[in-house]
Amino acid sequence: ARMADEVLFQFLHNELIQYVYKSAEHGEMENGRCITRLENMGFRVGQGLIERFTKDTARFKDELDVMKFICKDFWTCVFKKQIDNLRTNHQGIYVLQDNKFRLLTQISAGKQYLEHAPKYLAFTCGLVRGGLSNLGVKSIVTAEVSVMPACKFQVMIQKI
């Protein structure tokens, strides 16, 4: 049943991208708009998910404690693995590295589809931003891929 769960999420995620792109016009401008739309969808889902995942956990000590939760518990619940590496400059920038990001594993590992990677990462960027936002941490989340299926998520905390 767990295997089936994973596949369902991947299919749904793929369809989500298809749906957003098909219902949009073509052109460079539209690509950006689709990415934003996917990101916003992820944001709302992240808000809800984090509420559920933190229901039985103790209150967080600090920002780093929150980030560790995202890397371990949150990532395991959504992607069935942990983040492989978490780095921070201790000044509000965190880099989360996933060496085998679930939503990219079905895409050929070569350079051929590299340009399509951003749309497969937008929803997850929103997911992280939404989760953090609901825990009271405002941030900007971006992602980059150099070699598939590894990718890095950069979280920049917005200090108020």
Q: Which is nearer to other proteins, 44 or 111 (CB)?
A: 44
Q: How far is the CB of 57 from other proteins (least distance, A)?
A: 7
Site membership for other proteins, residue 58 (CB under 8 A): yes
Site membership for other proteins, residue 15 (CB under 8 A): no
Site membership for other proteins, residue 139 (CB under 8 A): no
Among positions 37-56, residues that touch other proteins (CB under 8 A) are: 44, 47-52, 54-55
Residue 134: other Cβ atoms inside 10 A: 16
Burial label, 9 (beta-carbon count in 10 A; 0-12, 13-18, 19+): middle
Q: What angle do CA 118, 123, 129 make, to 5 degrees?
A: 110
Name, in order, each residue with C-beta under 8 angstroms of 72's C-beta and a sequence gap of 6 or more.
82, 83
Per-residue binding string, other proteins, 91-130, x by CB under 8 A, is ----------------------------------------
